[in-house]
């Protein structure tokens, strides 16, 4: 089972600035995902990041606003660019890895999240 | 209409109570049904996983899926204060590889079990 860490755990930023969130996994994984969790709302997938290829963004999310890097099989970054108060949210990294529950289903494991507040 | 609707709560119960958490969905392509538990300031962790319809039991937890009604439930027996968390349902369709990657989440139900 993958263990995921994220940096920073929280940050308070000014409008118009950018923040880069780091996600580190303790094992090599192919699929990494970035989610946003806004207060009282469900987790929303921002993009899927595979090593060696461009990230795939979900409807409503664009690369200029949320550029993603995936330099190797254990690390990824998400940048929240030109931030506004509407970007205040928890950002979660997750990976797909073999879990203990099923031999044909790869679990998604989540990092602890980065709590972002934009003033 | 959201693809997945979850009872918003919050829900507060006394220790030892039976808790019922529910989600409904509209996408008939969903094949994998999951319940995640999220403690405060932590990421979600997989609690229960069910493929297609039926029941699954794991200790004090039972997951039920009724695909004909597009309705899933999580029951917690003998609830404990340590069960206090937000519970999120999640669903996914089937890919040819057999893994379910594109998860669609409910908005979560915040549960408090009072000692």
- The tokens of A64 are what? 């200029």
Q: Taking Cα atoms as reference points, which of B92, B88, B84 lies closest to residue B112?
A: B84
Q: What is the pLDDT of residues A1-13, one digit of tens each?
A: 788 999 999 999 9
Q: What is the pLDDT of residues A32-78, one digit of tens each?
A: 999 999 987 889 999 999 887 889 999 999 999 999 999 999 999 99
The alpha-carbon gap from A17 to the nearest alpha carbon of chain B, in Å, equals 24
Q: Which residue of B has its CA nearest to A2?
A: B45
The alpha-carbon gap from B77 to the nearest alpha carbon of chain A, in Å, equals 21
Q: Taking Cα atoms as reference points, which of B78, B81, B65, B80 lies closest to residue B22?
A: B65
Question: Distance between CA A96 and CA A32 in Å, rounded?
Answer: 7
CB contact under 8 A, A112 and B42: yes
């Amino acid at each position: 089972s993958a263990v995921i860490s994220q940096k920073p755990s929280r940050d308070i930023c000014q409008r118009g600035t950018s923040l880069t969130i780091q996600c580190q996994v303790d094992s090599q994984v192919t699929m990494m995902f970035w989610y946003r969790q806004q207060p009282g709302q469900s987790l929303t997938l921002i993009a899927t990041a595979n090593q060696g290829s461009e990230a795939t963004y979900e409807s409503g999310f664009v690369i200029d606003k949320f550029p993603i890097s995936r330099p190797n099989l254990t690390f990824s970054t998400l940048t929240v660019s030109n931030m506004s108060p509407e970007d205040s949210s928890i950002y979660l990294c997750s990976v797909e890895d073999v879990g203990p529950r099923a031999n044909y289903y790869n679990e998604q494991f989540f990092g602890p999240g980065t709590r972002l507040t934009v003033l | 209409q959201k693809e997945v609707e979850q009872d918003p709560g919050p829900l507060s119960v006394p220790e030892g109570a039976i808790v019922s958490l529910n989600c409904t969905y509209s996408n008939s392509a969903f094949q994998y049904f999951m319940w995640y538990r999220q403690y405060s300031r932590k990421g979600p962790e997989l609690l229960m996983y069910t493929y297609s319809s039926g029941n699954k039991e794991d200790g004090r937890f039972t997951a039920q899926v009724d695909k004909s009604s597009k309705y899933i439930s999580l029951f917690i027996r003998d609830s404990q204060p340590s069960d206090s968390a937000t519970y999120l349902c999640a669903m996914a369709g089937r890919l040819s590889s057999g893994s379910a990657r594109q998860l669609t989440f409910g908005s979560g139900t915040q549960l408090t079990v009072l000692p």
